[in-house]
Amino acid sequence: MKAEDLRHRIKLQKNTVQTDDNGFETETWTDFKELWAAVTNLHGREYFEAAAVHAENTVKFTIRYVPNIETTMRILFKGKQYNITSIDNIKYANKFIEIKAMEVDISG
């Protein structure tokens, strides 16, 4: 992976639960980190494996290593939301992380 491949800006968000004055819990998405990423669609074998479980709208994001990324987070990219499905610290080298995420259909 080359640094120039990381040319897309993404935002990682985490879900936080807050209690309001009346004692009700509300969930809100708060920004965790804004990063540069390489973004690719699945292709070849990966695509057909995803299609078998109806996950064709899965996108692969590659970022520089950042600790504490979890599958409970989401990614914002070009006005779309993506739920993280898997996180791979490539070769456990702590240099790059490959995140697979599925686009969220927010049409209701």
- Residue 67: which CATH number? 2.40.10.270
Which residue do the tokens 């070849």 mark? 44
pLDDT of res. 93: 94
pLDDT of res. 99: 96
Q: How would you classify residue 49: left for phi > 0, otherwise alpha for psi between -120 and 50, otherwise beta?
A: alpha
Tens digits of pLDDT across the chain (108 residues) = 777 789 999 999 999 988 888 888 988 999 999 999 999 986 555 555 655 555 568 899 999 999 999 999 999 999 999 999 999 999 999 999 999 999 998 765
pLDDT of res. 46: 58
- Cα–Cα distance between 98 and 35 in angstroms, integer? 13
Q: Is residue 108 part of a domain?
A: no
pTM, 2 dp: 0.81
Q: Is residue 48 part of a domain?
A: yes
pLDDT of res. 54: 54
Q: Is residue 91 part of a domain?
A: yes
pLDDT of res. 15: 93
> Which domain covers residue 76, as residue numbers?
3-103
Which residue do the tokens 């499905």 mark? 85
